[in-house]
Chains A and B, each alone.
Chain A
Amino acid sequence: MRPIIAIASTTIGEAIRRKVLLIILLIGVLFMVIAPGLGILSARSETTVLKGMMLGIIQLTSALIAIVLTVYMIPNEIERRTIYTILSKPVQRWQFLIGKYLGAVGALGLMMGIMTAILLVVFFLQQASKDFSALAELAKGPAMYFVQMSLLAAVAVFFSTFVAPLVNFFLSGGMYLLGSLFNPFFQTLNDNAKTPMIAKIPAFIINTVLPNFANYNIQNPLINPTQTVRNESIYYVNITAYGIMYIAILMVLGILIFDKREV
């Protein structure tokens, strides 16, 4: 366990020093700070737009950070040959991969934590009633996005064990887009009685096999408080369990591929 923790903490340190990640974070934070001024764009309640927009900024920025952070992680270690100094020590390859992944998740958590704090402060200042339970309710969004981004990071780490960073960037980004769009698409296919079985069967398989990032887009009831959701917590536990299982699959596959790879 000690090597994994050591690699993870080093990875967090490296991530914090990477300027490109800090710039992405800075842009996200800037958008969040100016977001309250854009409420006038909407005919709808400013709070609704503010919530939707800020959650959107956190999600988009986090996805970008997750991909940029992880696609270069393994290939850079190999290219700079720093991996040799690590693997020459009593560190297994699987420990290296898991350590790297956990480090990425830790760095992601740190950056998402900053954005969440800004979200809560801005929303608190915007609120007239200063209701803390509303803040806790709003924090559910970034919490679930964190699980979503951990899954996205696992996808990128898995691909980084056998493809080049640029290819990985598009592969992981494409996977995220597909995983975010496929749930609604599948729903439409399912609801339409006229959809032929030949289209329904592959859609069913893809929806079962593909990582469904849309599961974590829980902003609807957060943005529209009139919408009531029963057994909300059970749903959050289920999607967290889903994410952990999917991450486990990707890590196992990544370990098996990385174990065989020439470095």
Chain B
Amino acid sequence: MLSKKTKSGLIALAVVAAIGQGTLQRTVIFPKWSKDFSIGKFESGGISPDQLLFAMAGFREMIAGILWVRADAFFDQGNYDAILPIIRLVTALDPGEIDVYATGMWHIGYNFTDEEQRSDRRYIPSAIALGKDGYRKNPDTYELYFETGWLWYHKIDDYYDNAVRLFTEAQTKPDIQPARRNLLAMALQRNGEPEKALDKYLELYERAKKNYEADSSFGNRQNMETIEGNVDTTFVRLVQRGWVAKEQGRSTDGYDNSPPHDVGFSAKVTVPEANILRIEGSWNVKPVGTRVRVVLRDENMEHATTGGFDWDYSKDVYLDPPKLATMMQDQLFVKNRRFNRKVDMSKDPTMYPFIQDNYVIEFYYNPRSAPPHIQDKFSWDGSGMTDKNYLNTEIRPGQRVVFASLKISRDMIRRMGEWRDKVPVCKTPNYLESNRVTGLNGEDVVLDIPSLRSSIGSK
């Protein structure tokens, strides 16, 4: 039997050890473990207890691998809905699976479409949230910064500051591929910062030149020459679009973006059949390449703003989009200064449920998204573009965009009530049925897009 003194000594030892382990756990071990060794938030949704036990016992990567193989089979079958929970489960079990994050984002952002291949925009916040989760858990590689940036740049095709921010972060990672560095310069131009884009191209050119000097392979030469071409083109554009003159405080008169051209936007929306819209209108730019964005959405849609949407609202990856909300986005392709498009939403009731009573149809055109030959007139900042009715400088502060909005009710869209036998029509007040498009003074104007370098030396 232990003596009283020994027992007291042992109890004292146990108390000291208890305090020591508790302090160590709280102040040192747990914070470090959370930062460097945790697999991220504990997400057990959709995983059975035995799988969870198995996963927690150290087989996470293997289970994630098996699930991803299963997801591949669902891809082949076109069973896209089944893939979503698997993607979330795989990324929760093995956050190092960069390919699953990247494929998952692409899948969520692009693959849920209606019969006419229009993406279900309600899923995009989830794709962005998945990307954010991915790059936070894999901060040492460029890939998920780049992929998330690409989603902003290409899919959302708006709010380019996000693409610039993410592409810039991707550039700081040592594993970024040379060709992918160039995209930051493109994003900077779309973000209305062409002078920064030029700086970026010059920096990339120096890098490419060094690479070519060290290794004169065809790939390195091609990369160097491509960037050289980009530097050259950007220089010329900065001059011809009056950017240099503006920066130097000189008049921009006589440059390609001056005087601004009136695009003469007008639109009419009819509903020939239930859930089918016919959208027609004018856009006074003859060269092909213009696409006017049209959005039909609930009037009081959560996270929607006038002419825009808060795509980054979701803090978590929700696998179910807001199923009761309706949001359709399409592009109106301009040909011979008119657009005329049928938007059929009748075959996809889950994507377009039309639950609310009232809707808005928004038309939006931002020269930042325009192809270069159109931008040669409009410039990056829209200084070469105007519209006597719909030029807007408020919905995107500091930018010149064309924006118009029409209201439409559910009864009109669904051809119910008084609209059962009457074709609903909504149009802008300036809409004319003829094909003639007039300029500011009523004259027939056809935009003559300037040819790049056509007038070098005359400015």
Contact = CB atoms under 8 A, between A and B. Distances in A.
Contacts of B451: none
Interface string A28-65: 00000000001001111000110111011111100100
Interface stretch (A73-81, A124-132, A221-229): A221-229
A186 B42 CA distance: 9
Nearest to B65: A42
Contacts of A218: 37
A82 to B, nearest CB: 21
B37 A248 contact: no
Contacts of B138: 226
B68 A185 contact: no
A241 interface: yes
B379 to A, nearest CB: 42
User: Which range holds the interface residue count of chain B?
Assistant: 35 or more
Nearest to A92: B2
Interface in B21-45: 21-22, 24-26, 28-30, 32-34, 36-39, 41-42
Interface residues of A, number: 62
Interface in B1-28: 1-2, 7, 10-11, 13-14, 17-18, 20-22, 24-26, 28
A212 B66 contact: no
B26 A208 contact: yes
A227 B40 CA distance: 13
Contacts of A208: 22, 25-26
A43 B42 CA distance: 23
Nearest to A94: B2
Interface string A221-241: 101101111111001001101
B68 A42 contact: yes
Consensus secondary structure, chain B interface: helix
B14 A249 contact: yes
Contacts of A10: none
Nearest to B141: A226
A177 B96 contact: no
B14 A187 contact: no
Contact of A209 (B1, B22, B69): B22
B140 interface: yes
Contact of A56 (B11, B36, B42, B57): B57
Interface in A106-138: none
A112 to B, nearest CB: 14
A42 B24 contact: no
B21 to A, nearest CB: 4
Contact of A188 (B11, B33, B42, B99): B42
A185 B42 contact: yes
B53 interface: yes
Contact of B39 (A53, A184, A186, A238): A184
Interface stretch (A18-26, A162-170, A253-261): A253-261
B62 interface: yes
B31 to A, nearest CB: 10
A-B complex: 7 closest residue pairs judged by Cβ atoms: A42-B65, A56-B58, A52-B61, A184-B42, A224-B96, A252-B14, A245-B21
Interface of A: 38, 41-44, 48-49, 51-53, 55-60, 63, 94, 177, 180-181, 183-188, 191, 207-209, 212, 214-215, 217-221, 223-224, 226-232, 235, 238-239, 241-242, 245-246, 248-249, 252-253, 255-256, 259
Given A52-B60, A183-B38, A184-B42, 16 more contacts: A43-B99, A44-B68, A44-B94, A44-B96, A49-B65, A183-B30, A184-B41, A187-B34, A188-B41, A191-B41, A217-B58, A224-B96, A239-B29, A241-B24, A245-B24, A249-B14
30 contacts: A42-B66, A42-B69, A43-B69, A48-B61, A52-B62, A52-B94, A53-B59, A53-B61, A55-B58, A56-B59, A56-B62, A58-B58, A60-B59, A177-B53, A183-B38, A187-B41, A188-B42, A208-B22, A208-B26, A209-B22, A212-B29, A220-B37, A226-B141, A227-B96, A230-B36, A245-B21, A248-B14, A249-B18, A252-B14, A256-B11
